[in-house]
A and B are shown apart, each in its own frame.
Chain A
């Protein structure tokens, strides 16, 4: 993680260039590398970084206690933590976060169930590819969230429109990752499997999907944050229970402690989910060279 770019700053033996050669993320996951390293080893660097966080938190508390910032603009850290504690004790935080997580997970799962077969089909069948390739290459860079009012119009303001919106947003990164991953599978491996007498289904299950899995999981790692962002926006817009709705309500009643408590809660949920997906990747790809390096 902290492989030095410059030779002069190698403080600990572990940091010397070359001693941990391949910690740079693979080409498919350029944005996921920085997050991967935290908590891996308690080196001196990690301690300093924890200290930085503690100093920032202490500065937050001090500045607000001294009255340098209006408490409406930045409430005290201690009151935010107490609010979170009260939310935990009352159980509302679990209700809110649970509902948010349920919506995000359902939408994501629907997208996954549609996108993976379609991506595989696109890579294997010219007709399917012809039809869906332009639709996906046009749909991928569009800001999907702008379609939200259409889904509200069609499905109302309750869970259905939220979940459809989340599924629609997650679909594009998932399908293009699956398509690219399946297309990139080494033809020699497929041919070898065929020549050993594997059926189409066996080739798909035993060769193509495992070989495409790293790229599919990279798509998952892009789609999961998208699911969370979209869930929060839909909840803010449509109100009701869920962390986004609760934060919006707190904002409307000028309850900035509630808003900041919501931010801390959703940040924790985001961190947990992102970590869980990384664990899942390491577990599913235990056989893959990227895990062993």
Chain B
């Protein structure tokens, strides 16, 4: 009971903001077009769920984000570990990473349009590239920090290079790798929405701009809030997954 009250007090500001929104929207000088009130946004959301629009577009978006992000996690962590462990790999991959790392990834949207058109592929590849770099860099930095004595011990006990990589380097890189993947998760959502704003025929971003162009602002606000909620939930779920994964670490 006490913890429930604590939670209520902790999250009260969110409720205050909602109430302020409602007051400004209904009583304020702003027209209802510029700021639809909370109730009509909720009603619009309910309509979008009932006619299946938001579910259809949402599934498209989330599939793309998951595909690009998942591929980036697999390829990126492997590339980072290999870069840290094998010098030729490092010398080959590092310059490419150095060039692409500081580049604003959204600049690739027009190229994706040229290469892959309006379909799924353009978005998946963009999300993949955007998520790949933080994963590679964190995996590399984490693996670089592995205590060399562990590697020497494993070698002297007869571990193969593959076993050393998977059983010594990967766990050692894990804390930093997991924090890089968190950055990548945020990028996945940002790139998903931005690419769908610019080039798409379905997905959350497309739905938002379509509703905005059609003047259905309450529905537009509803979809935006849903996307924001998805980003928030994904991050929180990932956070608890990380805590579970790293439970072996001393606090």
**Interfacial residues, chain A to chain B (CB-CB below 8 A):** 2-7, 9, 11, 17, 24-25, 30-31, 33-35, 38, 45, 48-50, 52-53, 56, 72-73, 130-135, 138, 140-150, 152-154, 225, 228-233, 236-237, 243-244, 247-248, 250-251, 254, 256, 259-260, 262-263, 266-267, 270-271, 273-275
B1 to chain A, nearest CB (A): 20
Contacts of A56 in B (CB 8 A): 95-96
Contacts of A52 in B (CB 8 A): 91-92, 95-96
Majority SS of interface residues in chain B?
Answer: helix
B103 touches A262 (CB 8 A): no
A24 touches B144 (CB 8 A): yes
B228: Cβ under 8 A from any A Cβ:
yes
Contacts of B108 in A (CB 8 A): 263
Contact of B110 among A6, A237, A247 (CB under 8 A): A247
Q: A5-B84, A24-B145, A150-B224 are known contacts. Are A229 and B190 too (CB-CB below 8 A)?
A: yes
Q: A30-B176, A271-B102 are known contacts. Are A259 and B111 too (CB-CB below 8 A)?
A: yes
A268 to chain B, nearest CB (A): 9
A138 touches B232 (CB 8 A): yes
Q: A24-B144, A146-B228, A259-B110 are known contacts. Are A38 and B98 too (CB-CB below 8 A)?
A: yes
Considering the complex, give the chain A residue whose CB is closest to the CB of B215: A153
B103 touches A267 (CB 8 A): yes
B144 touches A154 (CB 8 A): no
Contacts of B9 in A (CB 8 A): 130
Contacts of A48 in B (CB 8 A): 91
A53 touches B87 (CB 8 A): no
- Chain B, 1-31, contact with A by CB distance < 8 Å: what is the 0/1 string? 0000000011101101100000000000000
B217 to chain A, nearest CB (A): 7
Contacts of B205 in A (CB 8 A): 146
Contact of B10 among A134, A145, A248 (CB under 8 A): A134
B248: Cβ under 8 A from any A Cβ:
no
Across the A-B interface, how many residue pairs have beta carbons closer than 8 Å?
Answer: 202
B114 touches A259 (CB 8 A): yes
**Interfacial residues, chain B to chain A (CB-CB below 8 A):** 9-11, 13-14, 16-17, 34, 84-87, 90-92, 94-111, 113-115, 134, 137-138, 140-146, 148, 151-152, 169, 176, 179-180, 183, 186, 189-190, 192-194, 197-198, 204-205, 208-209, 212, 217, 220-221, 224, 227-229, 231-232, 234-236
Of the A-B pairs whose beta carbons lie under 8 Å apart in the complex, a sample of 11, sorted by A's number, is A30-B138, A33-B141, A34-B140, A72-B114, A141-B186, A154-B34, A231-B104, A259-B111, A262-B107, A271-B102, A273-B102
Give the docked Cα–Cα distance between A244 and B180 (Å): 27
Considering the complex, give the chain A residue whose CB is closest to the CB of B194: A233
Majority SS of interface residues in chain A?
Answer: helix
B91 touches A149 (CB 8 A): no
Give the docked Cα–Cα distance between A123 and B226 (Å): 31
Contact of A7 among B84, B152, B180 (CB under 8 A): B152
Contacts of A154 in B (CB 8 A): 34
B110 touches A25 (CB 8 A): no
Give the docked Cα–Cα distance between A266 and B110 (Å): 13
Contacts of B111 in A (CB 8 A): 256, 259-260, 263
Give the docked Cα–Cα distance between A72 and B220 (Å): 36
B102 touches A274 (CB 8 A): yes
A60 to chain B, nearest CB (A): 13
Q: A17-B148, A263-B108 are known contacts. Are A141 and B236 too (CB-CB below 8 A)?
A: yes
Give the docked Cα–Cα distance between A248 and B195 (Å): 12
Give the docked Cα–Cα distance between A114 and B197 (Å): 28
Considering the complex, give the chain B residue whose CB is closest to the CB of A269: B104
Give the docked Cα–Cα distance between A237 and B205 (Å): 12
B131 to chain A, nearest CB (A): 12
Contacts of B143 in A (CB 8 A): 5
B102 touches A143 (CB 8 A): no
Contacts of B91 in A (CB 8 A): 45, 48-49, 52
A146 touches B227 (CB 8 A): yes
A143 to chain B, nearest CB (A): 4
A266 touches B141 (CB 8 A): no
B197 touches A233 (CB 8 A): yes
